[in-house]
Structure formats: structure tokens, C-alpha cells
Amino acid sequence: MRGKLVAGNWKMNGNLASSQALLKAILPPLAALSGARCAVCAPFPYLAAVGQALRGSKVEFGAQDLCQFDDGAYTGGVSGAMLADIGCHFVIVGHSERRSVFGDSDEAVALKYEQALKHGLEPILCVGEQLAEREAGVTETVVARQLDAVIGRCGVQALGRGVIAYEPVWAIGTGKTATPQQAQDAHAFVRGRIATADRRLAEGLTILYGGSVKAGNAAQLFAMPDVDGGLIGGASLVADEFVAICRAAQGAQQTVRT
């Protein structure tokens, strides 16, 4: 049975003091949760401090990106080996902001996924369409292309060692959210496409929804049969919101079990 996962993506926000204050606020209530995994993905400069603060807790941590190359002459890059060295568990690859703002191609994302696995990290692979692509009716074409780049590079079995996050780009930071049914349809497509190669792997794959998830809509989204949790942006910076979303994931997990 698939478990629920909620991963907070802090993006380029905060400072050392605010990140420590946020963790201090979320750790006590999250300690009481069971049945759902929770994680935070922090900016590079704060990863070591976040890892130290989370030591011994149920909350895992990860990075927001990594270099597609191993250690070497890549100024400004952060390798998978470095992330593993400081205890990171997760790393986000292919986030829409990395694709659109920083120019990460499908090929680069596939290389980053490969590097994450090489160094024992659990990649969170982001896929999703722009508003114009949804309006043009090519959502599935876009998502399939992004998935196929990783499958072509790493093999379909490699997806079983990571997490997929479907993020409709038009719903990120806009306040707009895909309806639960829209999210379910996209997640079902992702799972179905992978099932054509390996049904058992597809059934066990964790697929998150990312796009303006809040405490007020999390329970409805997580109740969908193919939505296994969320990749949370802005709401992960607000302690009460993030805790409530994690509780919604726990509730959804308990419902599945019963």
C-alpha cells in the first residue's frame, strides 16, 4: 500500500533564524503524527543546520536541486555526493521554476535524476504543464515527454526509487488550484503511462500534487485515489498551514487503511 508524503519546498525564502523558528514550531505537533511522511526542502546554505535541527525527529529533509554532473570544475554547482554527505534524503529535480527560469531541459532533468539515484538520494521528479499547454489540450503530451526523458535515461525501474510530483504550472503561487478531479485525472494519467511498462511499479509509485495546496483544500486533494500527498510551496513557510496539511495527509492515509 502506498504511503502519503508531504514535502515542503521553501524555495528561496527565509534566513537562518526564520528557518530555525519554523522548524521549532512544526516539530512538536508533527511528532504526534503517524502514517504519513513529512519532509522539508530547504535552500542550500541552510541544509546542514536544518538537518541538525531535525536529527532524531520524524521529519526528513532534502534539497531543492542538484548539479547534473559529479564533483569537479562546475562553479556554483552542488553535487549529489555533497547532499548525501550532509544527510539529505530527498532532492527535488525538474521543478517548473528550474525548467522555466533557469532553463533546465528534459535532458538535464534526466541527468539530475540519475545523479540523485547514484548518490542514494530519493528524487522528487516534477512534471507538469503551462497554462497555454493546458488550454491547448496538450497536458498529457507534455507530461509524457517529461516522464519519457527520465525513463529513456534511467529506465522505468528507476522511477520506483523516487517520487513524482505533478505540478500544473498555472497553479503554482497563483492562488489557483487544480480541482481534485483535475488533479486525479493527471495523476491517473501518470500512473497509467508507467503501468504500460510495469503495472506493479506504477501501483506502488508515490505521486504528489503541487500547486497552491493549503490547509483548506488538502483533505479533498489527498482523498483522490491517485493523489499520494503534496509538494507544498508557500504554505510550507507557515507553521500552522504546513502542520494542518500534514494532518490531512495522515487522515487520508488512515482512511485508506480502513
Catalytic residues: 95, 167
- What is the DSSP secondary-structure string of 203-227? HH--EEE-SS--HHHHHHHHTSTT-
Parallel, antiparallel or unpaired: strands 207-209 and 163-166? parallel
* Alpha-carbon gap, residue 147 to 135, rounded angstroms: 20
Q: Is the dihedral of CA 27, 66, 14, 87 positive or negative?
A: positive
* Cα 213-219-225 angle, rounded to 5 deg: 100
* Residue of 217, 198, 106, 107 lying closest to 160 (CA atoms): 198
Query: Which element (helix H / strand E) includes 124?
Result: strand 122-127
**Other CB atoms within 10 A of residue 189 CB:** 17
Give counts: helices (H), strands (E), the chain.
Answer: 11, 8
Three cell numbers at 178? Answer: 487544480
Q: Give the three cell numbers for residue 230.
A: 503534496
